Structure 1
């Protein structure tokens, strides 16, 4: 059993990424989420055997099917970590390792995903932190730990792996650390995201970026 599966949890498209309002309208945020998911899955298709989108939102599942992805209907009264447990139970016995990735890391293609997958053949647990103390990738056996996404999950995941004596290995990646939540994050996509669906969509919205002399690193505006 050498297969490696990717699991991407997606809550919903509508009324998501509210920190990006009023910079983007609700409809624009929805299209942005679709573009980011497209980038994430385009990259993973090159490296994994199957990609599972787990969600209880019918619009998300329908869009995933249009991208030729496998879908799992999230159980009622669930949450993010319960959904991941549900997906991992499905993958157990079928895949050697699973990759858990969020849907909002459109620069994943600039990370050497194949190197991480190759390393996972001899490593039990690989984790990529996100900005702000979160987690943007885990590679492990299905159900090797109980996930603790939300909040400062990076340290919690490392601690959980250490308790299971999995010898967690940290891969620090600027591109994988960038999950999109703010207008400044969109600026980073404009700078670094050439050939991505996300940057193409932002250009359609006439998003521009310049160095900032103020408190923020970047000045992101719309034409």
Structure 2
């Protein structure tokens, strides 16, 4: 049995990152998700035994195959948490642990992923919070808890792990907490994302960023 598999659920390309509209058009948002997914998988691949992409979108699955990743077609009438259960069920007989990650954390390579995964060999449950009370990574045995992704999922997941006596350990990481949903998030990628596919793509789109001292810390524009 392998040590650890990565599970990355991916929404439909055509429905992705609508909060970035109209700053980015539909094609640009789709390409953004592709380069972010590439950054995530390239950063994680060297530390896991396999990566599973699960999606209801054939375009996503075909893109995953082009990256030489294992793909799972999401069951009909599913949702994110059901899809994750499906993926974990697939992994139960194949891996001791899974690391569940979103597809939109392109700075993940800036954190110490090896340390995180090495720690999981002696810890039952590791969780990485996202901005705003969400969850951007969980490492656990497949199916150790039922995931509760949605509003304020971080507390939901910690409480669920506590109820199972899994002694949840929190790994707080700026780089892994940054999932991309807003134009200010794009600015953070421009500031911190050197050598990522995502920053390279944003530069091709002529995205510019300035430091400001108003309600937002960064002013993001297109040249």
Matches within 5 A, 1:25-104: 25-104=25-104
In the TM superposition, residue 15 of structure 1 has moved relative to its aligned partner by: 3.0
Partner of 1:177: 177
CA contact (8 A) 2:2 2:49 kept: no
Query: d(CA) in 1 for partners of 2:158 and 2:2?
Result: 25
State TM-score, norm by structure 2. 0.99
Which ranges in structure 1 are unaligned for 5 or more consecutive residues? none
Matches within 5 A, 1:180-191: 180-191=180-191
Partner of 1:110: 110
In the TM superposition, residue 3 of structure 1 has moved relative to its aligned partner by: 2.1
Query: d(CA) in 1 for partners of 2:11 and 2:218?
Result: 29
Which ranges in structure 2 are unaligned for 5 or more consecutive residues? none
1:148 aligns to 2:148 (yes or no): yes
State TM-score, norm by structure 1. 0.99
Query: d(CA) in 2 for partners of 1:54 and 1:15?
Result: 16
1:131-165 Cα distance to aligned partner (Å, 9 max, x none): 00000000000000000001100000000000000
In the TM superposition, residue 2 of structure 1 has moved relative to its aligned partner by: 4.2
- Equivalenced residues, count: 223
In the TM superposition, residue 209 of structure 1 has moved relative to its aligned partner by: 0.5
Partner of 1:18: 18
Partner of 1:209: 209
Query: d(CA) in 2 for partners of 1:11 and 1:186?
Result: 19
Runs of 4+ with deviation above 3 angstroms: none
1:86-116 Cα distance to aligned partner (Å, 9 max, x none): 0000000210100000000000001111101
1:20-57 Cα distance to aligned partner (Å, 9 max, x none): 01110111000000000000000111110000000010
Secondary structure of the 1:98 match is: strand
Query: d(CA) in 2 for partners of 1:13 and 1:56?
Result: 10
Secondary structure of the 1:14 match is: helix
